[in-house]
């Protein structure tokens, strides 16, 4: 099979939450496949540092939880710079607490950060993709799209919603030439999981629970992202691709 199927030269990709962790790794991988990267986040200093490390030309420092701000930022970029061909909805957060004690404000923040951002940026970018009759949207889901663990019930709810919103995007937008899919990472060594990585008991549990026997490395998500961003996935739509070392396949 020709590697041209995975070549992203001439494509422009917006990755939300891309100043660190999974978002930065995916941006770096897409750039290596030829894509022109647009970095996004709320912290301009972090964004500039990430841009320097990647040699990225485009920065969009908007708050993805604000629908109107997102729409204006995307519309302005499309008008002044050009098309966004690929969107990776990666912005997200975690908050851990027993469900019976979970703060209401933290629950609302999880909803805004993990679900509303996918809707806000997805809708703003898709409106332009629909006019062109082509586009790739990749939402970052989680093993918690399918499974739950104690202390993160609201996070689990948000990632379940991301999985179903992905299916809804595909159902509404496939007829316009868009492919909308999700990547569901297992447990990866990222800033979001820093507390778990530092917990020796949790790491021991994870190594026994995961058939691969280890934490994932963020670079191991890049191949899935390139596949879903490229012409190789031209008939893949509404799919949630688990990249989890076999965790969801095994009891």
Largest Cα–Cα separation, the chain: 53
Residue 170: its H or E element: helix 153-173
CA distance 191 to 20: 8
Which residue, chain included where needed, has tokens 């990430």?
Answer: 50
Contact (Cβ atoms closer than 8 angstroms) between residue 92 and residue 144: no
Instruction: Give catalytic residues, as residue numbers.
Output: 155
C-alpha dihedral (11, 131, 91, 168), degrees to nearest 10: -120
Contact (Cβ atoms closer than 8 angstroms) between residue 225 and residue 137: no
Contact (Cβ atoms closer than 8 angstroms) between residue 127 and residue 121: no
SS (H, E, C) 69-95: HHHHHHHHHHHHCCCCCEEEECCCCCC
Contact (Cβ atoms closer than 8 angstroms) between residue 206 and residue 188: no
Of the candidates 44, 135, 153, the one whose C-alpha atom is nearest the C-alpha of residue 84 is 135
């Amino acid at each position: 099979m020709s590697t041209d199927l995975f070549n992203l030269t001439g494509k422009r990709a917006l990755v939300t939450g891309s100043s660190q962790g999974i978002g930065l790794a995916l941006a770096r991988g897409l750039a290596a496949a030829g894509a022109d990267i647009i970095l996004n986040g709320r912290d301009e200093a972090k964004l500039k540092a990430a841009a320097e490390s990647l040699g990225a030309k485009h920065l969009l420092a908007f708050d993805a939880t604000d629908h109107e701000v997102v729409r204006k930022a995307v519309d302005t970029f499309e008008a002044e710079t050009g098309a966004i061909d690929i969107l990776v909805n990666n912005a997200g957060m975690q908050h851990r607490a027993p469900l019976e004690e979970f703060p209401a404000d933290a629950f609302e923040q999880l909803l805004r950060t993990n679900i509303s951002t996918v809707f806000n940026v997805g809708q703003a970018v898709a409106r332009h993709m629909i006019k062109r009759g082509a586009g790739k949207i990749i939402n970052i889901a989680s093993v918690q799209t399918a499974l739950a663990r104690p202390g993160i019930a609201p996070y689990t709810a948000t990632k379940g919603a991301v999985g179903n919103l992905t299916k809804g995007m595909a159902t509404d937008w496939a007829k316009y030439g868009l492919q909308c899919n999700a990547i569901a990472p297992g447990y990866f060594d990222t800033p979001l999981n820093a507390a778990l990585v530092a917990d020796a008991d949790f790491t021991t549990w994870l190594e026994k629970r995961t058939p691969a026997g280890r934490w994932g490395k963020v670079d191991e998500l890049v191949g899935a992202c390139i596949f879903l961003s490229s012409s190789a996935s031209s008939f893949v739509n509404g799919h949630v691709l688990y990249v989890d070392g076999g965790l969801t396949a095994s009891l």
